[in-house]
Amino acid sequence: MVKNNREQIHHLLRNSHLSVTETRVKILELFMKSNGALEHSDFEKKLGQSFDRVTIYRTLQAFLDKGIIHKIPTTDTSVRYALCKSECSEHDHHDHHVHFKCEECGTTLCLEETDVPSIQLPKGYAVHNVEVVVSGVCKQCK
Amino acid sequence: MVKNNREQIHHLLRNSHLSVTETRVKILELFMKSNGALEHSDFEKKLGQSFDRVTIYRTLQAFLDKGIIHKIPTTDTSVRYALCKSECSEHDHHDHHVHFKCEECGTTLCLEETDVPSIQLPKGYAVHNVEVVVSGVCKQCK
DNA sequence: AATTACCTGCAACTAAGTTGCATATTTCTT
DNA sequence: AAGAAATATGCAACTTAGTTGCAGGTAATT
Ligand SMILES: [Mn+2]
Ligand SMILES: [Mn+2]
Ligand SMILES: [Zn+2]
Ligand SMILES: [Zn+2]
């Protein structure tokens, strides 16, 4: 039997020891139905003014802490967020996939199938994490 | 005969069709003597209040446009800048090296010797640029 | 030295992010 | 199912980041 979204979300939140609130459910629904990564302003736009800005900041921070979402690096000041699809948990993210930013449509995608390569650094550096962000033109825009 | 810094800077600016001004020289000197990448607040700190914030923004933007500096992606809202050591020019950056962020001291470094690997994306994506940011512990901090 | 081109500082504004605290909502306990 | 405890939210107030127009200043060109 297939769980519906609401149920999934409920379990996700409970497993992360977060209480189930309207804001959190709405934001998770947004993540689930959206194609690419989302940035803060997307939430303000898509949720209208039904939720306070501060609540959205705090919700995203909570999701990050619990390993529900991850950040994607950018060269501008925006911060992009996407759902963790692997089994991330509190303080233990392992989203070892490549991210793609389309220069045409602006969408940022998680390429779950594309692993980050291992990088050989000069002697003396300890590597903890490798982020790869590719930019170019996406399938849709070609 | 070895050129001194001032002369180098002068030539760099003239070659980029930028006039030689105090702000630009000071900011380039800062880049040259600093170890890692710099962010906007570093300039305000290190230059004191001798220059207007706006001037610093515009100076960095001009350097970016001319291929004198490049940005380094981060997962926070800060933007880091570093000198281009390869032969970048107006609207044509090619800094194909890996960046390293130390989790201990916070320094962000250009690892000029470490090339970014080529990445094989799923069919349908056109790749224009690949950014690699490694985090971990640097030589000094180990 | 004068003219032109370009750069800078200021003011005013918009957007982004943080913190403390009172109130509201959710969860736990009985 | 009701009350107590724990947690989340909204608001206000504040800080930091970034943008734009414009007047005056500095650098380059002749
Ligand atoms: Mn991702
Ligand atoms: Mn670099
Ligand atoms: Zn696209
Ligand atoms: Zn370090």
**A91 interfacial to chain B (CB closer than 8 Å):** no
The CA-based angle B94-B27-B137, given to 5 degrees, is 65
| Per-residue confidence (pLDDT) for residue A49, from 0 to 100 | 84
Tens-digit pLDDT profile for residues A13-66: 999 999 999 999 999 999 999 989 999 989 988 888 889 999 999 999 999 999
Nearest protein residue to nucleotide D12 (CA to C1' distance) is A54
**DSSP state string for A72-120:** E-BSSS--EEEE--S--BTTB----EEEEEETTT--EEEEEEEEPPP--
Bridge partners of A127, per DSSP, are B136
Q: Select from B72, B98, B125 the Cβ nearest to the Cβ of A139.
A: B125
- Protein contacts on strand D: list nucleotides below 7 Å from a Cβ: 7-13, 16-21, 26-28
- Has residue A1 got a pLDDT over 60? no
Write the CATH number for B90: 1.10.10.10
Chain B residues lying within 8 Å of A79, measured CB to CB: 75-77
Nearest CB among A74, A131, A136 relative to B128 is that of: A136
Prediction pTM value: 0.89
Residue to substitute from B41, B75, B95, B109, interface A, most A β-carbons within 10 A? B75
Statement: residue A2 has pLDDT above 90: no
Q: What pLDDT is stored for residue B1 in this prediction?
A: 47
B128 occurs within a structural domain: yes
Strand D–CB A59 distance below 7 A: yes
**Model pLDDT for residues B62-86, shown as the tens digit of each residue:** 999 999 999 999 988 889 999 998 6
For residue B142, the CA-to-ligand 4 centroid distance in Å is 8
As to burial, measured by CB atoms within 10 angstroms (0-12 exposed, 13-18 middle, 19+ buried), residue A17 is exposed
A32 within a domain of the structure (yes/no): yes
Q: Which of A9, A48, A14 is nearest to A31 (CA)?
A: A9
DSSP type of residue A123? T
B74–chain A nearest CA distance, Å = 5
- Residue A142 forms part of a structural domain: no
- The reply to whether residue A128 touches residue B136, judged by beta carbons under 8 angstroms, is yes
Q: What pLDDT score was predicted for residue A53? A: 95
- Chain A and chain B share a number of CB contacts under 8 A equal to 117
CA distances from B52 to B29, B43, B59 (A): 17, 10, 11
Give domain status of residue B141, yes or no. Answer: no
pLDDT digits (tens, 9 = 90+) for A80-136: 999 998 776 666 667 789 999 999 999 999 999 998 999 999 999 999 999 999 999
**Total structural domains within chain A:** 1
Range of the domain at A80: 2-136
Closest Cα in chain A, distance from residue B64 (Å): 12
Query: Is strand C in 7 Å reach of the CB of B23?
Result: yes
Closest listed ligand to the CA of A99 = 1
Q: Which residues of B touch A130 (CB under 8 A)?
A: 132-135
Q: What is the pLDDT of residue A91?
A: 67
